[in-house]
Amino acid sequence: MLIMERYEGSVEKMKTIVIIQARMGSTRLPGKILMPLGELDVLSYVTARCNKIKNISEVIVATSTLRQDDAVEKWCAENNVICFRGSEDDVLDRFVQCAKAYEPDYIMRVTSDCPFVDFEMASELVELMEYERKDIVLIDGQLPRGLAVEMISYEALLRIYKDELEERHREHVTYYAYEFSDQFESVTYIAPENRIAPELRITLDTNADYVLCQAIAEQLNDIYVSSADVIKYLLENPEVAQLNAHIEQKPVM
């Protein structure tokens, strides 16, 4: 869409892996990632849509070693999805240990509570980074919560990992790179106009979010529906969009 208009010629291929952080624990909606969604479940939506991202090498679900997350490992085995298990609280360590086996150039971070993750936009981020080869990509544009992915170089992730970190940097994998952006080289991706809708929540933290996601899945009935069409549906059906409009996102502490 955008990227090929800006560049010409071939580039050396890079290795990008997608790591989906997933766990059954949730203070507001326990077990949410394996709850039914449409004819499938939430994690099926997330993994299937991640597998639609172009030019990636692997999609891995990274969960914790807690007993309750045995269900995630079991789901992965039944659905032929790679599973890695690591620290519950130190999510940064979980990502680094997971990535080590693959020695990627880049890591794409996805959270398992975003069933309509935008695989089309994610594909463009991969393409952009193939040309730019920066530490991290920044998205210019106010998207609905729940559609965006994050992309960071493995080398930059290792640099973060070696620093003395606050708890928030351990829990939120890429947060350090945003908070101390002067330490990292970035490239900016301009989000398409049809993705700009910051008033919308298309994520899964509460029961109200679940009702909204169920409405989308049942109405659009396509696991690979474009995120642009999801936004269009919500904007054209404000009574659905209002189902979770009152929910406040937890702040990063």
| pLDDT, tens only, 4-38 | 455 455 567 899 999 999 999 887 899 999 999 99
Q: Give the mean model confidence (pLDDT) for residues 62-85.
A: 97
Answer with the residue of higher pLDDT: 95 or 251: 95
Q: Let me know: does 121 contact 195? Beta carbons within 8 Å.
A: yes
Predicted local confidence at residue 55, as pLDDT: 96
Predicted local confidence at residue 126, as pLDDT: 97
| Chain centre distance of CA 105 | 18
Parse the chain into domains and list their residue ranges.
3-196
Return the residue matching tokens 């077990």: 31
pLDDT in tens, 170-197: 676 888 898 999 999 999 999 999 999 9
Please count the other Cβ atoms lying within 10 Å of the Cβ belonging to residue 151.
25
CATH of the domain spanning 3-196, picked from 3.90.550.10, 3.30.365.10, 3.90.1150.10, 3.10.20.30: 3.90.550.10
pTM, to two decimals? 0.92
Q: What are phi and psi of 136, to 5 degrees?
A: -150, 155
Residues 6+ apart with CB under 8 A from 229: 220
| Strand pairing class (106-111; 16-21) | parallel
| Chain centre distance of CA 104 | 17
Give burial (CB, 10 Å; 0-12/13-18/19+) of 27.
Answer: exposed
The letter for the amino acid at 64 is S
pLDDT in tens, 117-167: 999 999 999 999 999 999 999 999 999 999 999 999 999 999 998 766 777
Using CA of residue 143, residue 245, residue 222, residue 59, what is the dihedral sign? Answer: positive
The letter for the amino acid at 62 is A
Residue 168 banded pLDDT, cuts 50, 70, 90: confident
pLDDT over 70 at 102, yes or no: yes
Predicted local confidence at residue 207, as pLDDT: 96
pLDDT in tens, 30-61: 999 999 999 999 999 999 999 999 999 999 99
